[in-house]
Structure 1
């Protein structure tokens, strides 16, 4: 793992929705995750980087079913030419969305990915970003997930921190996996004029 990174031009905030960060369904250390994510967003805004909030549209009856309290983004969005929300219905934030076009329109070549869940939407989105040729930074302490329940005859409970670590390790050959969100720096993309919305 590296301890410092070259500044990135965009921040992808993956599915930081109320159902997963407050109440009975909150992730372990949700408060810490929110603090670190807020810091990333604040610094990205200050430095002129593109900020994209991904918002998952869950199935009917799911905790993140559209237009239910759990579906709402938990952190405030400052919508404008360098900050936008993109809704998605797959783990991969690029699949059937405008994310690729938004990044290309801003000239983004490098990005950081944070949010949840580590082994699902964070990893899937980071993998596609790598496949598209972006430099990807994954701050280890700014993505999270739930414990995996015990499976009789297979394993006991797998702690959330272990799941996140494995998810990061699985893409560490291509992504720059940092130890702390505070190691991530930001800079404005060459053409910070991406469409605001999708």
Structure 2
């Protein structure tokens, strides 16, 4: 894994919503995830990069159901300043599916992006796969995505720790993804 990477054009913050990072439904190590995502967000804002806040619209009764406190974005988008920040709402794991994400990236001339957020094996992975399939250069900081882990299934398998699930999700993305150890290694193209 390289220590630093070439700058990227945009940051996708996947599903870092109040109900996933605080309270009884928070992912393990939520504070660490938030700190690394905030580092990426600050760097993207400072460079004037496109920042896409991806917000999941969960079903009624879920912690991220629209309009509930848990649905709110942890990092409120800035309405002004050097960066461009946009919210994309989704109902599927893949942030490209049935959203305007592809058009937004094209409108801003994005060819490379960094992805952080939740859940490693679901929304982060699905979005990264589609980005790769659409020929984007994708950077994934190891310390800026996580998940809840996998609960035990009686008679079949024991529980799997979140860090193991996240690592397997990274591995499953193959060698096209640019995996870096730390969010601090990611820089953004200066568009300010």
Aligned partner of residue 179 in structure 2, secondary structure: strand
Cα deviation per residue 1:155-185 (whole Å; 9 max; x = unaligned)?
Answer: 2110000000000111131110111111111
Helix, strand or coil for the counterpart of 1:155? Answer: coil
- Counterpart position of 1:66: 66
User: Match of 2:85?
Assistant: 83
Question: In the alignment, does 2:164 pair up with 1:162?
Answer: yes
How far apart in 2 are the matches of 1:126 and 1:79?
26
Computed over aligned residues only, the root mean square deviation of the Cα atoms, in angstroms, reads 1.2
Residue of structure 2 equivalent to 1:136: 138
Structure 1: gaps (5+ residues): 193-198
- Structure 2 regions of 5+ residues with no counterpart? none
Q: How far apart are the structure 2 equivalents of 1:8 and 1:37?
A: 15
- Give the match for residue 9 of structure 2: 9
Q: Distance in 1 between matches of 2:190 and 2:12?
A: 14
In structure 1, the residue matched to 2:181 is: 179
Compare 79-88 and 32-41 and name the one that shifted more: 79-88
Q: Does 1:94 align with 2:90?
A: no
Give the 3-state SS of the residue equivalent to 1:12 in structure 2: strand
Matching of residue 26 in structure 1 with residue 26 in structure 2:
yes
Q: Which residue of 1 aligns with 2:148?
A: 146
Q: CA deviation at 1:70?
A: 0.6
| Corresponding pairs, count | 190
Q: For 2:167 and 2:151, how far apart are their aligned partners in 1?
A: 17
SS at the partner of 1:84? strand
Cα displacement (A) at 1:144: 0.6
1:97-146 Cα distance to aligned partner (Å, 9 max, x none): 00000000000000000000000000000100001110000001000100
